Structure formats: structure tokens, C-alpha cells
Amino acid sequence: MSKKILVVEDDADIASIEVDFLEIEGYQVTALADGLEGYQAALTNQFQLILLDLMLPGMSGFEICKQIRDKVDVPIIMVTAKTEEIDKLRGLGLGADDYIAKPFSPTELVARVKANLAQYDRIKAHAAGPAVNESQDTIKKGPITINPKTHRVFLNKQEVILKHREYELLLFLMENAEMVFSKEELYEKIWGFDAIGDLRTVAVHINRLREKIEKDPSNPQHLQTVWGAGYRFAP
């Protein structure tokens, strides 16, 4: 069955390009031009990915993302003409998984959609695996424990709820504890693209993880920045 994608975009020309190229790839696409209608459609949980413009009538993309992020567990890609760094960081901070700025090439758009869907499917496949004993098949580093088969994360035996990109990033760093990875390496590994995205996405997700697993996010003990080189996980 083909994947269903929700496009919320008030520019008719851009929406038409998105719909045409995604339908060529075999996706079922629903396009809406009003933010409130997009919000209501997203809450139906009928879609496997959401392409969300930021500047919308009725309800902004920022507000939509904020309101649906904890209710709808699918990739959200923000698509906008805004290029200011603060807007990118704000969108990612609200829970968007990726960001693409107008003008964009249809090829890049399709590549982003495919990579986000593939990554999400892989994570869901792990989470849907057979039940296992939480004491087995786990990765434990310091106070943090991950069970890849159940997709669950614990901090000092208390479960921490992570979004799928946060989970993948933490899992990869813990599996490669003490190794330093650049933003480019992490972006390619976790987001599945080769240097076509915004590397600030990595920093935003690191910061979101720190807020959830670090005792003092401003002075992280585990998700460490190695200045001039990248990031590493220290047990």
C-alpha cells in the first residue's frame, strides 16, 4: 500500500509541484492550503509523513508542529521561504524532523521524503518486534539504558520518551561510545542524506536530547561537544 503524505502549503504553485512529484513516486498526497484544516487533518493519524509550510493562514506551521508533535508520531518536514536561522532552529526545536528551504529542487524534496520515511519504517520495525525481557538485549552506558528491540530508553530506571530522530541519534552515539563524530557524519548516518541538508538539525537534536537525559543540560556529562570536531557519548 502506498504511503499517504499530507502537504500543508498555501502557495498553489509550490503545492502543485510537491503533489505532482510525490505522486509520480507513487505516494498518495492530500494538499491543504489552510493551517487549521491541516492541523485537523494531521490529527486523524491517516498520514505517514507531513510536509508543513510555516507561514499559513488560519494557523501557523510553528503552532501546528507544536500542537501535533506529541500526538502524531510521523516525520514532519518543514518547508518554508523563511531563511533566518532563528526560524529553522525554532521549527526543529518544536519537533520537526527535517527542514527544507524554498526554492528547492523537486529531486531534493523527493530524496528527503524517501529518507525520512525509510528511517521511520526501520525504527517502527524494531519497535514492533517480539516482546523481550528488558534486562536482555540492552545497551547500558552509565545511567542510560537502551533496548533496541523494544525501542525504549531508561535514565536511572525511569523511562524517557524520545522522538524517532532523537532515539536514533542517541542509540548510534551510545553504540559508538567515546568516538567523535562530526555534524556531517551524524547527519548522513541518522538523516540518510549526503550533505544536502541543514547541519544545524544535528545541533538542535543534540540539545533536545540533553534536555531529556542530562542532569545539567548546560554542562552535559554524556552528550559532549568536542570543539572543532563534533560530538561524542561519554558513559
pTM exceeds 0.85 for this model: no
Give me the residue label for grid cell 519504517: 121
The radius of gyration of the chain from alpha carbons, rounded to an integer in Å, stands at 18
Residue ranges and CATH numbers for the domains of the chain are: 4-125 (3.40.50.2300), 131-233 (1.10.10.10)
Question: Mapping DSSP to helix (H, G, I), strand (E, B) and coil, where does residue 40 land?
Answer: helix
pLDDT in tens, the chain (235 residues): 789 999 999 999 999 999 999 999 999 999 999 999 999 999 998 999 999 998 899 999 889 988 998 788 899 998 877 665 555 556 566 678 888 888 888 998 998 899 888 878 876 665 555 444 444 578 899 899 998 888 889 999 888 888 888 888 999 999 999 999 998 889 888 877 544 556 778 888 899 899 999 999 999 999 999 998 999 999 8
Residue with cell string 524554498: 102
Q: Give the separation between CA 46 and CA 190, rounded to whole angstroms.
A: 25
**Pairwise CA distance, residues 89 & 12, whole Å:** 26
